[in-house]
Amino acid sequence: MKKWVITLGVIVVILVGGLIGAGGYFYHVAIARGDKAFVTQSTNLSKKSAVYREKYWYLHAEKKTWRIKSTDGLKLVAWYLPKAGSKKTVVLAHGFAGNKSLMGAWAGMYHELGYNVLAPDSRAAGASQGQAIGYGWLERRDDLQWARTVVKRTETTQIVMSGISMGAAGMTMASGERQIPQIKAYVVDSPFTSAKAIISYQAGQLYHLPAFPLVDVTSAITKLRAGYTFGEADAVKQIRKNKLPIMIIAGTKDDFVPTRMSQSLYRHANQPKKLWLVKGAGHTTAIIKDYPAYKQQVADFLSHYIN
């Protein structure tokens, strides 16, 4: 009997050790700062692109570099691109494993619509400090801090909070926090419902692994190393608290963040709200699928809330 107990104990130790090791690996893959090989993002500027003009403008436009310190002491960096005579500004958040240099299509669109553009590097990305990606939960406070900075440094009276992918989820999470009066609306493209939901989904899609117990172990490691759990990073919970207008955009062929996540967020949102599903578009590709329609849809939505 004693021998079996020892054997069982050894097996348990090996299994627990294996899980902790696997959790540490997936923390490195999903949370720790660094290149994410499973995410492909191109900076190529093709004249055939539907958003060539917008990207070209963004590449060559004069940019002012802004710096702030986050509430937990990180140095954060953004580009500010003014629109002459405008008192309305968009704060524009990039996606997972991205950075501000990839936001040309959206920055160009908002500039064409008359907005100053503030495009930050989120924590643990680009020129900003940080060693842990927050899946929107840590970034939500940074987003709101950038909005307050816009008010302090410019004559902005109206702010739109916008983002794509993880940046969209972060903005959705920010919408549930206390707002400054200048924030008038949110526009989010391809957001996920929660860190736990999207990481569980990707574990299956990329690695063909069940969410339990690996995601839970990785979440516990994330709590120890980054200060939050995947369950805390909940955009559904946050959107329920939001009282501002929000527009949600998603492609019907999104296989990176399932379209159903945008639909779920829409169902839980308060009025006023709008869901625009773009037939055949993939992850954050609605803007290139039909740029004129994308621009018009955003403009029409914001026209009700922005002067």
Please check whether residue 237 is in contact with residue 264, taking contact to mean a CB–CB distance below 8 angstroms: no
Look at residues 259, 303, 300 and name the one whose alpha carbon lies nearest to residue 279.
259
pLDDT recorded at residue 222: 96
Q: What is the pLDDT of residues 26-41, one digit of tens each?
A: 798 889 998 765 555 6
Could you give the CA distance from residue 81 to residue 62 in angstroms, rounded to a whole number? 7
Please check whether residue 161 is in contact with residue 139, taking contact to mean a CB–CB distance below 8 angstroms: no
Please check whether residue 254 is in contact with residue 282, taking contact to mean a CB–CB distance below 8 angstroms: yes
pLDDT recorded at residue 38: 52
Determine whether 190 is exposed, middle or buried from the number of CB atoms within 10 Å of its CB (0-12, 13-18, 19+). Answer: buried
Q: Which two tokens stand for residue 137?
A: 């939960």
Neighbours of 179 (CB within 10 A): 18
Q: Which two tokens stand for residue 275?
A: 């869901």
Please check whether residue 212 is in contact with residue 283, taking contact to mean a CB–CB distance below 8 angstroms: no
Q: What is the pLDDT of residues 160-208, one digit of tens each?
A: 999 999 999 999 999 999 999 999 999 999 999 999 999 999 988 877 7
Percent of the chain with pLDDT over 90: 80
Long-range contacts of 39-44 (CB under 8 A, 24+ apart): 39/96, 39/97, 41/95, 41/97, 41/98, 41/102, 43/101, 43/102
Low-confidence ranges of the chain (pLDDT < 70): 1-23, 36-43
Could you give the CA distance from residue 223 to residue 217 in angstroms, rounded to a whole number? 10
pLDDT recorded at residue 214: 87
Angle at 267 between CA 254 and CA 232, to 5 degrees: 80
pLDDT recorded at residue 295: 98
Helices (H), the chain: 2-30, 52-60, 104-112, 139-153, 166-174, 195-207, 214-226, 235-241, 259-268, 286-289, 291-302
What are the chain's domains? 1-30+197-232 (no CATH), 48-194+233-302 (3.40.50.1820)
